[in-house]
């Protein structure tokens, strides 16, 4: 009864049908056939891009960290 109060007028609520394990596996297989997998060349290019970007970012953060470290060391040196 409480469910009927929240339902929109004129609409009958439908019970959700449970999916059997066999039907679930079939649906998963059907969905995986729709996937467009990257080619080997695309995968290699993407991996190289990620590696280069990682190197650039690591050098950037090394420079920022070194700069902040130098500033902190100079400020500490002024206090002593």
**What digits encode the pLDDT tens for the residues 52-79?**
999 999 999 999 999 999 999 999 888 7
Q: What is the pLDDT of residues 19-45, one digit of tens each?
A: 899 999 999 999 999 999 999 999 999
Confidence band (pLDDT; 50, 70, 90) for 15?
confident
> Which structural domain, as residue segments, surrounds residue 54?
47-80
Residue 71 lies in a domain: yes
The reply to whether the predicted model has a pTM over 0.85 is no
Of the pLDDT bands very low, low, confident and very high (cuts 50, 70, 90), residue 1 is low
> What is the reported pLDDT for 79?
77
Q: How many domains does the chain have?
A: 1
pLDDT category at 11 given cuts 50, 70, 90 is low
Cβ 13 vs Cβ 7: under 8 Å: yes
- Whether residue 2 lies inside any domain: the answer is no
DSSP per-residue codes, 34-54: T--PPPHHHHHHHHHHHHHHH
């Amino acid at each position: 009864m409480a469910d009927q109060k929240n339902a929109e007028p004129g609409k009958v609520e439908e019970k959700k049908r449970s999916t059997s394990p066999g039907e679930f596996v079939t649906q998963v297989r059907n969905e995986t056939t729709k996937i467009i997998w990257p080619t080997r060349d695309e995968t290699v290019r993407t991996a190289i891009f990620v590696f280069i970007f990682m190197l650039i970012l690591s050098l950037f953060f090394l420079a920022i960290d070194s700069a902040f470290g130098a500033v902190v060391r100079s400020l500490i040196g002024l206090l002593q």
